[in-house]
Structure 1
Amino acid sequence: MSKSLPRIFSNPFLLVLLTVLIKIPVFFTNHIQEDSFITWRVAKNLLNYGVVGFNGEERLSASTTHLYVLVSTFFQLNFGDYFIYPLLIFNCILFGIGSFWLGKVLFRKDVINRGLFVILLNIVPPALTASCLGMEYGILFFLYSGLIYFGIRKGKNWAYLIFPVLLLWTRIDTVIFLGVFFIADVIIRKKLNLVFILGGIIGVVSVVSFNVIYFGEFVNHTISAKKIAYKNLTRNNSLEFLLYQWAYYGGLIKKYSLFTFLIFMGFLAALAYAVKQIIKDKTQTQFSIKVILLAMLAFALLKITVFAFMRAYFDWYYWLPRVFLFIIVLYYVLLYVPVRRKFLVPAVFICCLGLYGFQILQSWAIGYMEETQRMQIARDIQTESHGIDQSILLEPAGKIPFYTDLYTYDEVGLVNKKITAQIQKDENHWWMNSVKEFRPDYIVTIIYKPGDEKSYYKMTASDDIYFDSHYQFVKSYPIAEIHRNAPAILRWIYSIRPIGQDYHLYHLRK
């Protein structure tokens, strides 16, 4: 074993292959992030109608990522209906390559530590979610790592030009990463990098120009829609709650509580100690690596803090910041913990394996819920009809619209500007106004049925009469029943952290 490890770790192909193989179990959990299907529906729409949009020939930047739409289109073109797992494997490969590049940055000549770093990084929870759940974060991590390795570390001008453009075409919020690492590059090289600046300018100008020319808007519609739909969606305005949210999204414990906050603060205190030790060291860590690690820390904490305090209630925004925090932890543990390797490596591996198991169970819990509820709704609708000639009003706009191909009105307005317009006209009664104006063939409501006094589907007495006369109740999908029928280990997880909500399906009366 001791002889085979150096051969595997020194072979990039085998090392990346190993990172992909260890992620295969995640695919069997059926956990794929809902918003992935929005991007994939846009890609399908581009193939079927030649239009970047969600509903036929309507142009709309319903996906937050232009580059991933094109990649998804390529995979759908070549693999048809079976594109999902080839695309997920591709994402895992890109994440593995990115981690190998960072390993070469941090452990330039230390093959064993580099290999251990790559393997361990790829089994921690945020790496698994970023790689395997279908979002654009495998590509994003690949691009982040490419800029650090070929640009910041090796000083290649082409990298300073190409990677910023690709990053901004992947997600516009990568300006945070580019800003932090631009400063890091200036500190390392002690001069302004004009090519880096040019790459950023070309990226911003090209993305904004495309949005304006093609969609008639400066930023992706999803950003505008969320700002309008969520402006009153504030769970709690107190500083206490915002700090709990900061810890909730910065760490791994998914519970808004003082306990979560204290655990995260303890983690940050330990991380601060580790960073201090790395900075003080004058033998093992080069100055440039110290700056890169500090830039990773600054980026991670800055993005977590900005997005948490902006009330961005979407866990995927925080996956890669958590990955960068784990990178610093692994670097410190592998180089600075004063424990003999034969004890240290098994201990670290067991710890990371425990986190790996934690994520597998969490993904299984989520995947089981989605497969037996939202996917079942899609299957039930498919038995009657499907296609763009019929419509649906629902939230969220991921799996169900993707598998039914129905023309979609979503409650946030992410995939349909007509809903955004209704929200702007009447914040209180937009939902019922939309039902009356658009008369969708199917309606899916969350938690409550329309007309329930607790429901946020606000209706007057006449609205109630209108809805009952025009829509027929089809079926409820109660989350409690799904929890009760789950395997024993999942029932135990649901008792600790209930996942999901009730859904109700309605059909337009004929």
Structure 2
Amino acid sequence: MLKIFSSSFLLILVTLIIKVPIFLSKHLQEDSFITWRVARNLLHYGVIGFNGDERISASTTHLYVGVSAIFQLVFGENFIYPVLVFSSILFALGSVWIGKVLFSQDVLKRGYFVVFLNMTPPALTASCLGMEYGILFFLYSGLIYFGIFKDRRWAFALFPILLIWTRIDTAIFLGVFFLADLVIRKKINFIFILGGILGLASVLAFNFFYFGELVNHTISAKNLAYKNLTPNYGPEYFIYQWAYYGGLIKKHAWWTLAIFLGFLAFLAFAFSKIIKEKSKISFRIKVILVAMVVFALLKIAVFSFMQAYFDWYYWLPRVFLFIPVLYYFLNIFQLRKRLLIPSLGVLFFGLYIFQLWQSFTIGYMEEKQRVRIANDLQADNSGTNRSIFLEPAGIIPFYTGLYTYDEVGLVNKRINDEMVKDEKFWWMNSVRDFQPDYILTMGKKPGGNYYHMKSADFKYFDAHYRFVKHYPIAEIHQNAPEILQWIYKIRPIGKDYFLYKKR
């Protein structure tokens, strides 16, 4: 093991082997396809947008759009697995850097730390599901290792710029670690401030001059579309949201909250031992570990309070919550190494199987439903000369190439304009105004509490659109392998879809 762990290359290779089954699950995050289509649009039209030459910041990440464009340019339509491997390598390298911070003199402990961390569910999702979070963790770790730990001046200038170009909300991380650096150095780091200002100013200037807006359109679109999503948003709901997104159990329930609070109690206990240890843990490492947890809990709390209903926002905060737990077991917990390492191996292998099981469950559902819908549309001679109105705007628009109107307005501002003009009947008004060739409704047929329609609208809709196909999620659950059905029974995943075509 010493030979493998002493080589960063071999260590990263081990983490890649661990992640191969996740790749085979076909579990890819829906929003990754939005970024990949924006990247393809950039290559085909020379415009950062989603539909032809229309400029729109439909992706939350500018840097990853550029990276995805390079991979599509090099690998063509077969770019997905190469970009997933690239993301996984960057995440693993970031974990190696964190390992060097925490275990600079102990190669074996560092190796076990890297392997176990890469087996945790948030590490697997951040690495393997196609989003920008593998790159983001690499950049976070680079700032911690080269900046906070090794005090390299260039790191304080470079990493803040790259972080903010990856996601604007990394300002939370930069703020927390600026304070950590201040505590360690006992003086203000003006290069750090300059890096943050340059990153934020450059992104805002680019957004303003290229897109005509200061922040990414995805932010304003979600704020508009989701403002009435939870009308009874009170303290109890916020606490449940906080536990739901902070932990690994995806159930809004009291026991989810209890498990998360139990985890935090153990984390507090572990920190009490870490802080009290004076002989083998430096002040710098203690501050870094505290900053990781402060960042994680702050981001989880802020995003939960802001009603950010997307699990991927919380992947990296969960990773940072696992880091001090692993550090405690490997460096503080009193147990013979012959028992400790196998025990940790069993624990983290269990977490790994937990995520692998979920990934196969979600991947199976996506393959049998949304990928199937995309195939049906392609067989119907779809293309950019035709349009679709649907939600979400990921897998189906990516594979069909259809001009897209999405129900949130992430990829098409015209939808947001309709929401502003008529908060209740914006969906039907959009159908009348844009007359999409295909309409795909989710969960329900047109009419009712979500797809609001007046009596005259039903006549118009029936005259101009015909029902094509129902894609029931219950049928997918029932036909799934039995091992996957267990997850569907505990946590029903997915909704029905109803496809309509213009007459």
TM-score for the superposition, normalised by structure 1:
0.98
User: Does residue 1:36 correspond to 2:32, yes or no?
Assistant: yes
CA distance in 2, matches of 1:338, 1:236: 47
| Distance in 2 of aligned mates of 1:187 and 1:235 | 42
* Residue from 243, 247, 263 that aligns with 1:267: 263
Match of 2:322 among 323, 326, 329: 326
The DSSP-based 3-state class of the residue aligned with 2:218 is helix
1:459 and 2:481 aligned: no
One-letter amino acid of the structure 1 residue matched with residue 29 of structure 2 = Q
Instruction: State how far apart, in whole Å, the 2-side matches of 1:136 and 1:195 are.
Output: 26
Aligned position for 1:435 = 431
Secondary structure at the aligned position of 2:389 is classed as: strand
Name the SS for the 1:219 alignment partner: coil
Find the aligned partners of 1:404 and 1:447 in 2 and give their Cα distance: 21
Once the two structures are TM-superposed, the CA of residue 48 in structure 1 deviates from its matched residue by 0.4
SS at 2:495's partner residue?
coil
Q: 2:474 aligns with which of 471, 476, 480?
A: 480
CA distance in 2, matches of 1:318, 1:437: 37
- 1:15-26 alignment to 2 at 5 Å? 15-26=11-22
Task: Deviation per CA, 1:313-371: give whole Å up to 9, x if none.
Answer: 00000000000000010000101111101001000110000000000000111111111
CA separation of 1:62 and 1:450: change in aligned 2, threshold 3 A: same
State how 1:170-189 maps to structure 2 within 5 Å: 170-189=166-185
> 1:475 Cα shift?
0.2
Q: Which residue does the alignment assign to 1:196?
A: 192
For 2:331 and 2:153, locate their aligned partners in 1 and report how far apart those are by CA, in whole Å. Answer: 31
Deviations 1:196-225 (A, max 9, x none): 110000000000000000000000000000
Paired AA for residue 235 in structure 2:
L
Establish whether residue 348 from structure 1 lines up as the match of residue 340 from structure 2.
Answer: no
- Distance in structure 2 (CA, Å) of the matches to 1:185 and 1:242: 31
Q: Distance in 1 between matches of 2:163 and 2:434?
A: 38
Q: 1:338 aligns with which of 323, 334, 338?
A: 334
* Alignment partners' CA distance in 2, 1:74 and 1:228: 33
Matched, 1:62 2:66: no
Instruction: Measure the CA separation in 2 of the matches of 1:495 and 1:94.
Output: 36
- Determine the structure 2 residue equivalent to 1:163: 159
Cα drift, residue 157 of structure 1: 0.8
2:289 corresponding residue in structure 1:
293
**Corresponding residue of 1:209:** 205
Q: Per-residue displacement from partner, 1:438-466 (whole Å, max 9, x unpaired)?
A: 00000000111113x3x410011110000
1:129 maps to 125
- The separation in 2 between residues aligned to 1:483 and 1:420, in whole angstroms, is 34
- Deviation (angstroms), 1:239: 1.3
Deviations 1:137-184 (A, max 9, x none): 000000000000000011111100000000000000000000000000
Alignment partners' CA distance in 1, 2:248 and 2:493: 16
Aligned to 2:41, which of 40, 45, 48? 45
Give the CA deviation at 1:385.
1.7
Q: Which residue of 1 aligns with 2:84?
A: 88
> CA separation in 1, counterparts of 2:486 and 2:300?
30
Distance (whole Å) between structure 1 residues aligned to residue 153 and residue 285 of structure 2 = 19
AA paired with 1:335?
Answer: N
Equivalent positions of 1:134-149 (< 5 A) are 134-149=130-145
How many Å separate the matches in 1 of 2:466 and 2:41?
A: 30
Partners of 1:321 and 1:348 in 2: CA distance: 21
Rounded to whole Å, the distance in 1 between the matches of 2:253 and 2:241 is: 9
Q: Percent identity?
A: 66
Structure 1 range deviating more: 489-498 or 96-105: 489-498
Determine the C-alpha separation between the residues in 2 that align with 1:503 and 1:235: 25
**Take 2:381 and 2:460, find their aligned partners in 1: how far apart are those partners?**
24
Match of residue 407 from structure 1: 403
- Separation in 2 of the partners of 1:68 and 1:166? 10
Q: Any idea what the Cα deviations from partners look like across 1:113-151, whole Å, max 9, x if unmatched? A: 000000000000000000000000000000000000000
Is the partner of 1:134 in helix, strand or coil?
coil
For residues 337 and 264 of structure 1, the distance between their equivalents in structure 2, rounded to whole angstroms, comes to 21
Residue 504 of structure 1 aligns to a residue whose secondary structure is: strand
TM-score by length of 2: 0.99
What amino acid sits opposite 1:368 in the alignment? Answer: Y
Instruction: Tell me how many residue pairs correspond in the alignment.
Output: 503
- Which whole-Å CA distance do the structure 2 matches of 1:433 and 1:463 have between them? 9
- Cα deviation, residue 238, structure 1: 2.4
Which residue in the other structure is 2:496 paired with?
Answer: 502
Q: Distance in 1 between matches of 2:243 and 2:384?
A: 42
Q: 3-state DSSP class of the match of 2:172?
A: helix
Q: Deviations over 1:359-392 (max 9, x none)?
A: 0000111111111001110000000122211100
Q: Does residue 305 of the first structure (1) align with residue 269 of the second (2)?
A: no
Separation of aligned partners in 1, 2:298 and 2:37: 32
Q: Which runs of 5+ in 1 are unaligned?
A: none
Q: Which residue, out of 209, 220, 223, partners 2:219? A: 223
The residue type paired with residue 502 of structure 1 is D
Match of 2:366?
370
Structure 2: which amino acid aligns with 1:340? Answer: R
- The one-letter code of the counterpart of 2:96 is F
- Please list the CA deviations of residues 28-80 of structure 1 after superposition, one character each: whole Å capped at 9, or x if unmatched: 11100000000000000000000000000000000000000000000000000
Q: What is the CA–CA distance in structure 2 between the aligned matches of 1:492 and 1:265, rounded to whole Å? A: 26
Q: Mean Cα displacement is larger for which, 333-342 or 133-142?
A: 333-342
* 1:93 maps to amino acid: I
Q: Structure 1: how far apart are the matches of 2:152 and 2:232?
A: 47
Amino acid paired to 1:50: G
In the TM superposition, 1:240-251 aligns within 5 A as 240-251=236-247
For residues 385 and 169 of structure 1, what CA distance do their matches in structure 2 show? 38
Q: By how many angstroms is 1:235 displaced?
A: 6.0
Distance 1:386 1:47 in 2: 21
Sort the Cα spacing of 1:235 and 1:499 in 2 relative to 1 into closer, same or farther, 3 A. farther
Aligned partner (choices 485, 490, 493) of residue 491 of structure 1 = 485
What SS is found at the alignment partner of 2:500?
Answer: strand
Distance in 2 (CA, whole Å) between partners of 1:349 and 1:404 is: 43
CA distance in 1, matches of 2:455, 2:68: 46
Tell me the distance in 2 between the aligned counterparts of 1:212 and 1:182.
27
Q: What is the CA RMSD across the aligned residues, in angstroms?
A: 0.7
User: Which SS does the other structure have where 1:337 is aligned?
Assistant: coil
SS at match of 2:440: strand
Instruction: State the 4+ residue runs in structure 1 displaced beyond 6 angstroms.
Output: none
SS of residue paired to 1:22: helix
CA distance in 2, matches of 1:111, 1:331: 14
